[in-house]
């Protein structure tokens, strides 16, 4: 008895173990409980897509071992009609658009975790300072095969729609460590994520206040900083995590001062011995930041440390 497998799992999911998928599913359910609007939009589905993927794999394995569909349904607690559709070739991802797992995927995800907002299933970037950052995000989204909307008149904005990607951004913002096994499975994707995050939340280290400092990226959530540090470690770039008091900031939207909700801000700072490696391997796609980093490398950090 053999199952009809008519759908090949995308690389994005194929590289994840059942345990990693279940962990992502559990974390996403916790996120849904915090946001009632998100819960209402996903109410049609009893289980997150990550959990469904695990049940799908188990269904095929049990069916190939000779277990009857009715018994599989009782054992897994899944509707009998769903089990039958999976056996006949339907796949949990059949109704989703899943992009290629490459640098552009990583760059867009890193930028979204840093500067993006999710209005499920939409991902929105608003009030972006640099026009070339807008273009970089739009180009990466288009390279993923997704339609993008760009506004440059009132303020720099980019938006696109993809349910799977929106879920990954929410996981990245609220439970970042669950994404580490996925993002550290490909060097190309890891480079993209770090590059996108540093474009969104980073600075080169060159300037009046930070002259001869090293590149760093900051966020109020320590879990996100640990994720980026984990990817830097995977890429062989040494870094350290810093903690400082959060200060009042001026909103680019209202031009008013606001007191941040978080008392502290966390930064991942590239160690000076690895600035040149960071420059060569990752760098910035924002022109002004890349030019500043180039000055820094040429005048101060000329050597690459051995790993």
What is the domain class of 103-299 according to CATH?
alpha beta
Helices (H), the chain: 11-14, 18-34, 36-41, 49-64, 69-76, 80-87, 103-115, 131-143, 163-174, 180-183, 187-201, 222-234, 275-281, 287-299
Question: How far is 144 from 168, CA to CA, in rounded Å?
Answer: 15
For residue 271, the tally of other CB atoms under 10 A from its CB is 15
- Residue limits of CATH 3.10.28.10 in the chain: 103-299
20-23: Cβ within 8 A, 24+ apart: 20/178, 20/181, 20/182, 21/50, 21/51, 21/53, 21/54, 22/50, 22/51, 22/54, 23/178
* Per-residue pLDDT tens listing for the chain (307 residues): 444 444 567 788 888 889 999 999 889 888 887 776 666 666 555 678 888 899 999 999 999 999 999 999 999 888 899 999 999 888 888 778 888 889 999 999 999 999 999 988 899 998 888 889 999 999 999 998 889 999 877 678 899 999 899 999 999 999 999 999 999 999 999 999 999 999 999 988 766 555 557 899 999 999 999 999 999 999 999 999 998 887 776 666 667 776 667 778 899 999 888 888 999 999 999 999 999 888 888 877 665 555 5
């Amino acid at each position: 008895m053999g199952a009809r497998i008519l759908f090949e799992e995308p690389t994005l999911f194929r590289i994840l173990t059942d345990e990693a998928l279940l962990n992502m599913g559990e974390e996403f359910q916790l996120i849904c409980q915090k946001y009632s609007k998100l819960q209402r939009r996903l109410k049609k589905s009893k289980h997150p897509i990550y959990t469904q993927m695990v049940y799908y794999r188990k269904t095929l394995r049990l069916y190939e071992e000779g277990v009857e569909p009715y018994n599989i349904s009782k054992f897994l607690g899944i509707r009998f009609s769903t089990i039958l559709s999976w056996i006949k070739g339907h796949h949990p991802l059949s109704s989703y658009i899943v992009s290629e797992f490459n640098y552009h995927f990583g760059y867009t995800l890193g930028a979204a975790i840093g500067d993006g907002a999710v209005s499920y299933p939409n991902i929105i970037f608003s009030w972006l300072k640099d026009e070339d950052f807008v273009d970089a995000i739009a180009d990466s989204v288009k390279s993923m095969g997704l339609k993008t909307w760009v506004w440059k008149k009132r303020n720099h904005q980019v938006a696109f729609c993809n349910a799977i990607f929106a879920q990954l951004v929410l996981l990245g913002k609220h439970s970042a460590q669950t994404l580490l096994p996925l993002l550290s499975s490909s060097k190309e994707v890891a480079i993209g994520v770090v590059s996108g995050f540093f474009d969104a939340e980073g600075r080169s280290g060159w300037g009046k206040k930070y002259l001869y400092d090293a590149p760093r990226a900051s966020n109020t959530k320590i879990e996100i900083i640990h994720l980026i540090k984990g990817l830097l470690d995977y890429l062989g770039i040494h870094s350290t995590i810093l903690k400082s008091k959060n200060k009042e900031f001026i909103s680019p939207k209202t031009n008013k001062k606001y007191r941040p909700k978080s008392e502290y801000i966390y930064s991942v700072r590239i160690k000076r011995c690895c600035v040149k490696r960071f420059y060569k391997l990752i760098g910035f796609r924002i022109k002004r930041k890349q030019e500043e980093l180039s000055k820094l490398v040429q005048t101060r950090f000329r050597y690459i440390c051995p790993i």
